[in-house]
Amino acid sequence: MMLRRILREPLLHFTLAALVIFAAYGVLTPYESPRGEIVVTAPKIEQLAAVFAKTWQRPPSPQELKGLIDGYVKEEIDVQEALALGLDQGDAVIRRRLQQKIEFMTDAGTDAVKPTDGELQAYLDAHPAKFEIAAQTGFQQIFLNSDQRGQRVDAEATSILAKLQADPALEPVAFGDASLLPAEMPLTDISSIGETFGPEFAAAVRAAPPGAWIGPVASSFGLHLVRVSEHTSGRMPALGEVRDLVLREFANDRRQASEDERLNMLLKRYRVVIQAPEADANP
């Protein structure tokens, strides 16, 4: 009776059916040899442990390290299977990533060679436009709001200017209208002044003599009374003043030259065919 009850159990039937299917699959499916060898080197294990320690501020436990290794093996298997299936083909993201890795390899070799001061000075001399310190002007300004003052703005500007010229010690803040514009600009290049106040204002300020109030000077905001504090001329800096900038530009140019040279060399290995699109039959 017990044997009959066991034989009628659905779980037993399911288990037997699964064993039969598994056995049949093993007989009918040919054995596939491994696609390749996956070697988890000691340096790779050290790298996995180092990344873990940097993230969690402690070394991994033996169990955690085993999990890291297992994860790496799974990643390698998935990558090899994906490559075997051609899943990398036609994927713009993968293509771009591969290109970046090649470029990184080239850049690493180029950046390893540090330029001398002589090379940096020669680069500075050969590219003055990149590093020239532009002419600069510092000034104070009093803003007169045309919308608030209306038709009186010109007469009031003339009156305020006369007072300031008669007594340069007067506080400018007592005469201006509220605005978000800076009341005083430190030494600033003319292009930046033009971006804030407008090019005509910048030209007028650059032409004004230092020390005296002038105006009214029109800007894109309204009228201003202006007193220039200082003008400086454009000049070429010494290497010590712009060393970091020169080093960055030098490295960028050398990196680009190295990339161009690499590409020209590789192009010799390929025959490039560019197929022009067919002309529209009905222009």
HSE-CB of 212 using CA atoms within 13 angstroms: 9
- Residue in the block written with tokens 């090019």: 199
pLDDT at 144: 93
Per-residue pLDDT of the chain (283 residues; tens, 9 = 90+): 544 554 455 544 444 444 444 444 444 444 444 557 888 898 889 999 999 999 999 999 999 989 999 898 888 888 888 888 888 888 888 888 888 887 777 776 666 778 899 999 999 999 998 999 889 999 999 999 988 888 899 999 999 999 999 998 888 888 989 888 889 999 999 999 999 999 999 999 999 999 999 989 999 899 999 999 999 998 999 999 999 999 999 999 998 888 888 888 888 887 877 777 776 545 5
pLDDT at 35: 59
**DSSP per residue over 28-93, as a string?**
HSPPPPPS------HHHHHHHHHHHHHHHSSPPPHHHHHHHHHHHHHHHHHHHHHHHTTTTTT-HH
pLDDT at 9: 53
pLDDT at 279: 64
- CB count in 10 Å sphere of residue 55: 9
Distance CA 242, CA 205 (A): 28
**DSSP per residue over 89-122, as a string?**
TT-HHHHHHHHHHHHHHHHHHHHTSPPPHHHHHH
pLDDT at 244: 93
Backbone angles phi, psi at 16, to 5 degrees: -65, -40
Q: Is residue 196 a contact partner of residue 179, using CB atoms and an 8 Å limit? A: no
pLDDT at 8: 59
pLDDT at 109: 65
- CB count in 10 Å sphere of residue 208: 19
